[in-house]
Amino acid sequence: MEKETVIKALVELRKSEKKKFAQSVDILVNLKNFDIKRENVNLFVPLPHKFKEIKAAAFLTAKSKVIDSITKVEFDKYKGKVAKKLAKEYDFFIANAALMPAVATTFGRYLGSMGKMPSPQLGIITKEDEATIHDVIAKAEKMIRVKTKEPSIKLCIGKESMKDEEIAENILTTYNAILNALPKKKENLKSVLIKFTMSKPVKLEI
């Protein structure tokens, strides 16, 4: 897929009626010859351009000044509805590696179902200093997770307010990551489309 192709499609999208709110940019990758029960794509993709602000919390051994934090001694307060509310309140969670068994026991059923469980790829730390925490959050604001649950992958990769060049680079990075993860590469691709939140999709040449 060429960058010029993506930018041309974005120009076409921008011709659609303007909305009174900031629309997201989505990529839709439709698969074929892909057995959803036997084959799987599950990866984190770092994008070149930030497109979201996240609300983060952390499970730490001590309280932090730079992030809402829950220490081990406080875990007993979070049961049932309280833990579920916490999982909904934040977009992203960080955890000290040493606390992960306790985090999994106390919060796993709620964070796991929402795809918010800290992982070795993103979210688990061994040091609790400010620089480490800021670095993880910065990475999370540029990171998307790709996980196949059906033969169609839909991902938010940008905002309408971003420059076409930036959106195009996020799209290409996402596309190439998915393509490389597919067992049969292009033979698994049925179609790739992009759209704004309320627009009709525009098909990309692959």
Q: Look at residue 69 and tell me whether its pLDDT is greater than 90.
A: yes
| Res. 116: pLDDT tops 90 | yes
Q: pLDDT tier at 206 (50, 70, 90 boundaries)? A: confident
Distance CA 140, CA 7 (A): 25
Q: Determine the Cα–Cα distance for residues 68 and 86; give it in Å rounded to an integer.
A: 11
Mean pLDDT of the chain: 93
> How are strands ordered across the β-sheet holding 189-196?
152-159, 24-31, 189-196, 202-204
Q: What is the percentage of the chain residues whose pLDDT exceeds 70?
A: 100
Return the minimum-mean-pLDDT range out of 5-19, 49-63, 113-127, 171-185: 5-19
pLDDT computed for residue 121 by the predictor: 86
CA distance 90 to 199: 28
Listed residue (48, 69, 193) closest to 130, CA to CA? 69
For residue 63, the model assigns a pLDDT of 95
C-alpha distances out from residue 1 to 4, 70, 141, Å: 9, 45, 25
Rounded to whole angstroms, the Cα distance separating 132 from 203 reads 40
pLDDT band at 160 (very low <50, low <70, confident <90, very high): very high
18-57 pLDDT, tens digit each: 777 889 999 999 999 998 888 888 889 999 999 988 999 9
Domains of the chain, by residue range, sit at 3-50+143-204, 56-140
Tell me if domain 3-50+143-204 and domain 56-140 are identical in fold: no
Residue 27 pairs in a beta bridge with 155, 194
Is residue 149 predicted with pLDDT exceeding 90? no
CATH topology of domain 56-140: Rossmann fold (3.40.50)
CB 50 within 8 A of CB 173: no
Mean pLDDT for the stretch of residues 79-92: 92
How many whole angstroms separate alpha carbon 73 and alpha carbon 202? 51
Which band of pLDDT confidence, cut at 50, 70 and 90, is reported for residue 16? confident
Q: How far apart are CA 164 and CA 181, in angstroms?
A: 26
- d(Cα 23, Cα 35) in Å, to the nearest integer? 33
Which of 10-24, 80-94, 150-164 has the lowest average pLDDT? 10-24
Q: Rounded to an integer, what distance in angstroms lies between the CA atom of residue 180 and that of residue 177?
A: 5
Q: Which CATH number is correct for 3-50+143-204, 3.40.718.10, 3.40.50.720, 3.30.190.20, 1.10.10.10?
A: 3.30.190.20
Average pLDDT over every residue of 74-83: 91
If phi > 0 it is left, if psi is from -120 to 50 it is alpha, else beta; for residue 189 that is beta
Task: Please list, residue by residue across 95-109, b when 16 or more beta carbons sit within 10 angstroms of its beta carbon and e when fewer do.
Answer: bbeebbeebeebbee
pTM of the model: 0.83
Q: Does residue 115 register a pLDDT over 90?
A: no
